């Protein structure tokens, strides 16, 4: 497959569709230098983006949290996403929406006079963790921790917050792992680099309290599904020493969907009945 800069197709930029290879920005774009950008990752199933409006609302909220306004309404963002799917003849696809501070009069840390831009791209993308849905993903344990919400806008899906995630995932892949689990600044179990975590013990589900990292839309969906199935869900702080006592584990995220985990560091988990059932149920829901 060609690199992401060298493909056929259309990308929506600032109100119009442009050729994929022409969807470029200037080298002095503020976001490139100071990470002043927010984004959404979404999946379309059978031509319909799952929780599309919620993603568009979160994009606008994320931008406000890092001090800029997206110059489009939810309805306009929705229309742009549909334009991209239609123009590229895609029904099952990953959709990336990005808003950022562009190039303008400011080229220092401050950038209030620079225009805010937005783009939407989409492409076919299979399972994020390959065959892990069958045998369970293998996770490293990152040396980097999710920061305190006093130091970052942890509710924002902002590009700059993923720097330590990229570093953690690179280190994990070098060890033959699919991803890495991260602790938070207090030492509690937090999340993976781009997905939320769930654990099972004695038929009940435990998931880290999302008080310093992104409360994913897939996470919210899965919690509701579990409750509707009559399964107890505990959103709480989880200590590292508790990992040994959990029997099952899985990841949730728009890209990850619901992916069972077989190993985190030295801790092993079975791809058990609850993990398999919620994965299958989620697949049925998004394609309903």
* Percent of the chain scoring above 70 in pLDDT: 100
- The rounded distance, in Å, linking the Cα atoms of 278 and 255 is 16
pLDDT of residue 1: 67
Q: Which residues are catalytic?
A: 157
Identify the structural domains of the chain with CATH numbers, from first to last: 10-123 (3.30.470.10), 132-286 (3.20.10.10)
pLDDT of residue 282: 98
pTM over 0.85: yes
Please write the tens of the pLDDT for every residue from 107-139: 999 999 999 999 999 999 988 887 777 789 999
Report, as ranges of residue numbers, the positions in the chain whose pLDDT lies below 50: none
Q: Check: CB of residue 118 under 8 Å from CB of residue 72.
A: yes
């Amino acid at each position: 497959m060609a690199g992401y800069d060298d493909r056929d197709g259309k990308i929506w930029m600032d109100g119009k569709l442009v050729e994929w290879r022409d969807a470029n920005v200037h080298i002095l774009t503020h976001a490139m230098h100071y990470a002043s950008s927010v984004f959404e990752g979404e999946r379309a199933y059978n031509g319909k983006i799952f929780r599309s409006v919620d993603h568009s609302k979160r994009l606008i909220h994320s931008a406000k949290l890092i001090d800029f306004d997206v110059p489009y309404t939810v309805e306009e963002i929705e229309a742009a996403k549909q334009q991209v799917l239609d123009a590229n003849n895609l029904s099952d696809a990953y959709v990336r929406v990005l808003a950022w501070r562009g190039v303008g009069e400011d080229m220092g840390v401050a950038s209030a006079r620079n225009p805010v831009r937005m783009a939407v791209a989409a492409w076919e993308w299979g399972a994020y963790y390959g065959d892990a849905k069958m045998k369970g993903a293998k996770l490293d344990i990152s040396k980097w921790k999710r920061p305190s919400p006093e130091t970052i806008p942890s509710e924002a899906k902002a590009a700059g917050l993923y720097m330590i995630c990229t570093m953690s995932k690179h280190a994990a892949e070098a060890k033959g792992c699919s991803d890495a689990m991260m602790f938070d600044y207090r030492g509690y179990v937090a999340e993976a680099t781009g997905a939320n975590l769930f654990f099972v013990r004695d038929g009940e589900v435990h998931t880290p309290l999302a008080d310093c990292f992104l409360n994913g839309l897939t996470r919210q969906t899965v919690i509701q599904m579990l409750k509707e199935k009559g399964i107890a869900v505990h959103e709480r702080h989880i200590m590292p020493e508790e990992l040994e006592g959990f029997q099952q584990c899985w990841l949730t995220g728009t890209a990850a969907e619901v992916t069972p985990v077989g190993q985190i560091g030295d801790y092993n988990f079975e791809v058990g009945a609850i993990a398999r059932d919620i994965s299958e149920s989620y697949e049925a829901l998004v394609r309903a």
